[in-house]
Amino acid sequence: MSVQIRSLTRRAPNASRKMLDGVSLTIEDGAFVALVGPSGAGKTTLLRTIAGLDGPYEGTVLVDGRVLAGRPMRERRIGFVFQNYALFRHMTVARNISFGLDVLPRGERPDRGAIAARVAELLELIQLPTLGGAYPDQLSGGQRQRVALARALATKPGLLLLDEPFGALDPIVRRQIRRWLRGLHDQLGLTTVLVTHDHDEALEVADRLVVMQNGRVVQEAAAETLDAAPATPFVMEFLGEALEFPGQVAHGRFLPDDPNVLSFAVGAGDGPATAYLRPHEARLVAAGGAARAIPLTGGQGGLRRLAVALGTREVEILVLPERLGQVGTEGLGLDIGRARLFRDGAPLAGAPPVASGQELPRVTVG
């Protein structure tokens, strides 16, 4: 099921603050979309609005081209998984899962055998075939999460909405469950919207990311392009560790304020600009500068973490371990040729494509 949202605005009750501010968004049928952003960005509010929870709003929300407001919930075909799972503690797992079927009017309700078969099928799907008789309080967090998912899936929704579903799980279970969820999405042909504040999770599981900040959509893009072409410095910083280098563009080159950072060619007009790049995208070069490298403990994906002492500050970068042997630790310069340039919070037109000088492996940095 597709979702179209046009200039959606919601205000906090009893306050003029806008929880959502002119949000427009299209979610294609069959897409797996992650809403990401810091807490208070309006992700959950947006998700709840799509589900038709909460009060009035301005703008339009269409699901499969139709306004949902005023239509009975069971016709909406929306499955929702809450952050706290909201399982019914007084019911067994099986009764929780069959709830959506049990409350159907008599004419539409499958008979007992069919409901039991559907529950068994879902228990199989969530890999808890023996736990139908257990109560939610007897389950672990990951099991509860899957039961909540099975409950939402029992009525065969077309649109699955998940509010921080992995928040309370430990990292291993988290990774397992999100893989499994992605598989389920593909297998059942769902349209899925996931809210998370963890960009790693979003990048791993979703096709498209919607980055939100202060009730607005800052950028909406496929996972791969988001990192390459962030719309604002906020997106750049939200998606991972980012280094910031203020400077000037003059005569077709970006000149960092720091003399130990190398300039590079850009196709932009003269004026102030700020360069952002990931720690693994910076390169150390033996340029006779005054920068010094100080090895630090730790690293990521086979890369070594270094502090680079520039004139007035230190930045931490990631390099191949052998690189240090090649350039030494003194008299260095920092090459930031792969940086994204921003002026006044917007990407600078004509900045070089990111793919200049692919010397280092691309890793996602957490």
Give the closest residue to 132 by CA, choosing from 147, 142, 111: 147
Among 4, 9, 92, 214, binds another protein (CB under 8 A): 92
Residue from 2, 125, 135, 354 touching another protein (CB under 8 A): that is 135
Stretch that binds another protein, among 95-103, 234-242, 266-274, 341-349 (CB under 8 A): 95-103
Q: Does 215 interact with another protein (rule: CB under 8 A)?
A: no
Given 42, 132, 136, 347, the residue binding another protein (CB under 8 A): 136
Which residue of 86, 120, 173, 327 would you call a contact of another protein, by CB under 8 A?
Answer: 86
In the bound state with another protein, the residue whose beta carbon lies nearer, of 162 and 217, is 162
Instruction: Report 42-71 residues binding another protein (CB under 8 A).
Output: 51, 53
Of residues 76 and 340, the one with the C-beta less far from another protein: 76
Q: Which of 12, 69, 103, 117 binds another protein (CB under 8 A)?
A: 103
Q: Can you say whether the dihedral through the CA atoms of 278, 284, 288, 294 is positive or negative?
A: positive
Residue (7 or 138) nearer to another protein, CB: 138
Contact 335, 248 (CB under 8 A): no
| Residue 217 C-beta: closest distance to another protein, Å | 24
How many Å is the maximal CA-CA distance in the chain?
Answer: 82
Residues 129, 154 contacting (CB under 8 angstroms): no
Binding mask of the shown chain, residues 6 to 45, with x at each position contacting another protein by CB under 8 A: ----------------------------------------
Beta carbon of residue 237, minimum distance to another protein (angstroms, whole number): 32
Three-state helix/strand/coil letters over 202-246: HHHHCCEEEEEECCEEEEEEEHHHHHHCCCCHHHHHHCCCCEEEE
- The Cα–Cα gap between 291 and 307 comes to 10
Are 284 and 344 within 8 A, CB to CB? Answer: no
For the packed helices 141-153 and 171-188, what is the interaxial angle rounded to 10 degrees?
A: 10
Radius of gyration, alpha carbons of the chain: 25
For another protein, the closer CB: 95 or 323: 95
Q: How far is CA 74 from the centre of its chain?
A: 29
What single letter denotes the amino acid at residue 77? R
Q: Using CB under 8 A, pick the residue from 73, 125, 309, 363 that binds another protein.
A: 73
Shorter beta-carbon distance to another protein: residue 139 or 348 = 139
- Residue 81 vs 336, nearer CB to another protein: 81
* Single-letter residue type at 27: I
Which parts of 140-159 interact with another protein (CB under 8 A)? 151-152, 154-155
**Choice between 52 and 331, CB closer to another protein:** 52
Strands 346-347 and 283-285: unpaired
Question: Taking a C-beta distance cutoff of 8 angstroms, is the pair 27, 193 a contact?
Answer: yes
The conformation of residue 362, written as its DSSP 8-state character, comes to P
Footprint of another protein (CB under 8 A):
51, 53, 72-74, 78-80, 82-84, 86, 88-92, 99-100, 102-104, 135-138, 151-152, 154-155
